[in-house]
Amino acid sequence: MLIKKPDDIKSSEITDRKLYLTRRNFMRGVALAATTTATALVYRQFGVPAPPPVKGEKIEGVQTAEQASSFPPPPGEARTSYEEITNYNNFYEFSTGKTEVAGAARGFVTRPWTVEVGGMVAKPRVFDLDDLLKIAPLEERVYRMRCVERWSMVIPWVGFPLAKLLAQVEPLGSAKYVAFQTLLDPKRMPNQRSDVLEWPYVEGLRLDEAMHPLTILASGLYGETLPPQNGAPLRLVVPWKYGYKGIKSIVKITLTDQQPKTTWNISAPREYGFYSNVNPKVHHPRWSQAKERRIGEFGLRDTLPFNGYAEEVAQLYAGMDLRVNY
Amino acid sequence: MFAPDIKFTRFVLFMNGLVPAALLAWDAYHHKLGANPIEFATRATGVLTLVFLFVTLAITPLRKLTGANWMVKLRRQVGLYAFFYGCLHLLTYVWFDKFFGAREIAEDVWARPFITVGMASFLVLVPLAATSTSGMIKRLGGKRWAKLHKLTYVAAVGGVIHFYLGVKADTTTPILFAVVLALLLGYRWVSSRMDATATKSATLGIQTPPR
């Protein structure tokens, strides 16, 4: 190997000091820019995806809450925006990331769709969805929705009382509970391939809870058909209970004399009971339920007993210890 | 052996560590954190704390495996970033979740293991950050300082448990973190066992074949 002694190097070969420093600074600039860009790109992988466009179809002939002057009046609280309602969802069949459900559920096909209503009833029947939605006039119901995770929204649903559907099938005197089941189809609901919960998702109500006029089956929100991420084409809404009781994409409703199994209770019985009534005094083992963050607000609100519907529903639980029956 | 200009490398590291905080602030300002920005910020700063803790724990194995001893000179800065993001994470909880309500915080720490473990893991980081200066290393003495800083393991394990306890049903990410941590700590266990065997053989005059 030839090693040049200093005096062998011609002065013309020596890089000019100024040029050397310029080059060095240039390389350093490149290194800095390249690494920070890479870091930024990696960070971006874990960010909130941009909301995909959602387009529901307008539902004709819906009585607005004001027009219907029906029970209950809309709460005097601002409605949560459509974009927030449709881009912050717990729907584990599509994704466990609340901001990712909207994207994962895009293109979910909801026609044809049937709902089987049976069990302890005089007239069991399989309803085609479009027939089912004609059982009763659709009306707007503006309800508070309190998630067990301590956030809440105010949502203008479109739907009709579950009681109207149950009347069609004539529950037997022996029926005490109503069990609900979500569609099971891993091809259309890809996260059903994971074992994060037991599939299909199941929920249940006591018959008197199911017959309560506040309990509705919803097929729309903000006057349009439900987008997939909110439980299309048909979901349950029970406003005085935590959000997960509102089972989505229902295919089966069964009347029974046994207390139905419920998905979250199977997953973590100590944390999620059958009743799951909103209760600021009964805490989740891992967080307090005394307060909630209304989506779109900075501060916290006090959580109300039965989510503010105590006047309407508290008598359903008269004499029950709500700490035991959480 | 390649050894970069450590001053410049530290500067690059410093800028890179700021990137997530800057983007988080940028996104917050432009309402790009989704419907529940506070929840997002809490989760992001928590995960970043663990990421930086893991990077500090990765330096020793990387240094030994590659022989790039200069890496150790970057460790303090990475550790301080872990502390920085830990502070932000705690702040999102103390401010946006509890609005500085001391009684509510105390109640949470007392009654909820999820919070207890998280708070304990943060508190463990405080003496480590406080003794991170060269002056403190001298005052404590290298050996005692090194012993104290083994608390990093405690903070990392506690942090991962806290993460695991915080999720509702999908434990995929916390378990992934636990696996990485097990590798980082497992490496140390294995290498210390091998060192012990080598020392024992040497004192007994047994020749160990070259590894």
Q: Is B200 within 8 Å of chain A by CB? A: no
Contact A253, A203 (CB under 8 A): no
Q: CB of A92 within 8 Å of any CB in chain B?
A: yes
Q: How confident is the model at residue A135 (pLDDT cuts 50, 70, 90)?
A: very high
Q: Residue B53's closest CA among B126, B153, B165? A: B153
Lowest mean pLDDT among A70-79, A155-164, A230-239, A260-269: A70-79
Structure tokens at B110: 């007392």
With cut-offs at 50, 70 and 90, classify the pLDDT of residue A50.
confident
Gap between the Cα atoms of B108 and B103, Å rounded: 9
Determine if the peptide bond prior to A233 is cis (ω within 30°): yes
Place of tokens 């590894």: B211
As a whole number, mean pLDDT of residues A233-259 equals 98
What's the complex ipTM? Answer: 0.86
Note the pLDDT tens digit of each residue in A249-280: 999 999 999 999 999 999 999 999 999 999 99
Strand, coil or helix: what is A319? coil
pLDDT recorded at residue A285: 87
Band (pLDDT 50/70/90 cuts) for residue A72 is low
Q: Quick one: pLDDT at residue A9? A: 73
Percent of chain A whose pLDDT exceeds 70: 95
With tokens 């002694």, the residue in question is: A5
* Residue A151: closest C-alpha in chain B: B36
Across B130-149, average pLDDT: 92
Instruction: Spell out the residues 6+ positions from residue A202 whose beta carbon is closer than 8 angstroms to its own.
Output: A179, A180, A181, A182, A247, A260, A261, A262, A263
Half-sphere exposure of A124 (CA within 13 A, CB side): 11
Residue with more model confidence, A54 or A168: A168
**B164/A contact by beta carbon, under 8 A:** no
Strand order in the sheet with A114-119: A125-128, A114-119, A250-256, A177-182, A202-206
Distance, CA of B138 to CA of B205 (rounded, Å) = 37
What's the whole-number mean pLDDT along residues A147-166? 96
Report helix, strand and coil shares of chain B as percent, to nearest 5: 80, 0, 20
DSSP state of B91: H
Q: DSSP assignment, residue A287? A: B
Mean pLDDT, rounded, for A83-94? 96
Distance CA B114, CA B194 (A): 36
The residue type found at B130 is A
Chain A nearest CA to B34, separation (Å): 6
Residue A29 at interface with chain B, using a CB cutoff of 8 Å: no
The 3-state secondary structure of B141-192 reads CHHHHHHHCCHHHHHHHHHHHHHHHHCCCCCHHHHHHHHHHHHHHHHHHHHH
Which pLDDT band, with edges at 50, 70 and 90, does B205 fall under? Answer: low
* % of chain B with per-residue pLDDT over 90: 81
Chain B positions touching A149 (Cβ under 8 A) are 168
Q: CA of A288, closest CA in chain B: separation in Å?
A: 8
Q: What is the mean predicted confidence (pLDDT) over B113-134? A: 95
Confidence of residue A56 (pLDDT cuts 50, 70, 90): confident
Task: Name which of B14, B32, B36, B39 to mutate to probe chain A: the one with the most chain A Cβ atoms within 10 A of its Cβ.
Answer: B36
* A264 vs A272: CA distance, rounded Å: 6
Which pLDDT score, from 0 to 100, does residue A75 have?
Answer: 73
Cα–Cα distance between B54 and B159 in angstroms, integer?
11
Which residues of chain A have a CB within 8 Å of the CB of B39? 151, 293
Is residue A137 reached through a cis peptide bond, with omega within 30 degrees of 0 on the bond before it?
no
Q: What is the DSSP letter of A8?
A: G
Question: B188 CA to chain A: closest CA distance, Å?
Answer: 28
Q: Which residue has the higher pLDDT, A150 or B4?
A: A150
Question: A116 vs B4, which has greater pLDDT?
Answer: A116
Q: Which residue of B has its CA nearest to A51?
A: B34
Q: Which pLDDT score, from 0 to 100, does residue A207 have?
A: 98
pLDDT tens column, A191-225: 999 999 999 999 999 999 999 999 999 999 999 99
Peptide bond into B127 cis (omega under 30): no
Confidence check: pLDDT of B61 > 90:
yes
Please say if the pLDDT value at position A314 is more than 70: yes
Percentage of chain A surpassing pLDDT 90?
79
Q: B2-48, pLDDT tens digit by residue? A: 667 889 999 999 999 999 999 999 999 999 999 999 999 999 999 99
Specify the 3-state DSSP secondary structure of B70.
helix
Structure pTM? 0.88
Task: Determine contact, residues B93/B42, Cβ cutoff 8 Å.
Answer: yes
Residues of A in contact with B107 (CB under 8 A): 288
| Beta-carbon separation of B169 and A267 below 8 A | yes
**Which residue in chain B has the smallest CA separation from A27?**
B8
Nearest CA in chain A to B10: A32
| Mean pLDDT in residue range A171-177 | 97
Round to the nearest angstrom and report the end-to-end CA distance of chain B: 21
Q: Average pLDDT, whole number, for chain A?
A: 92
Chain A CA closest to residue B22: A40
Taking the Cβ of residue B106 and every Cβ of chain A, the question of whether any pair is shorter than 8 Å is answered with no
Tell if the CB–CB gap between B20 and A43 is shorter than 8 Å.
Answer: yes
Name residue, tokens 């590291």.
B13
Q: What is the pLDDT of residue A18?
A: 80
Both tokens of B203, joined, read 């004192």
Question: Peptide bond preceding A72: is omega within 30 degrees of 0, i.e. cis?
Answer: yes
For A6-43, write each residue's pLDDT tens digit: 666 777 777 777 887 788 888 899 999 999 999 999 99
Average pLDDT over residues A166-186: 97
Judged by CB atoms within 8 Å, which residues 183-242 of A form the interface with B? Answer: 194, 196-197
Span A48-65, average pLDDT: 83
pLDDT for B174: 96
Q: Which residues, in sequence order, are bridge partners of residue A224? A: A58, A221
Q: Using alpha carbons only, what angle is made at residue B187 by residues B182 and B193, rounded to the nearest 5 degrees? A: 125
Task: Answer yes or no: is pLDDT of A298 > 70.
Answer: yes
Q: Is A15 left (phi over 0), alpha (psi -120 to 50) or beta?
A: beta
- The whole-angstrom distance between A231's CA and the closest CA on chain B is 18
Here the tokens at position B116 are 């207890």
Q: Rounded to an integer, what distance in angstroms lies between the CA atom of residue B202 and that of residue A137?
A: 89
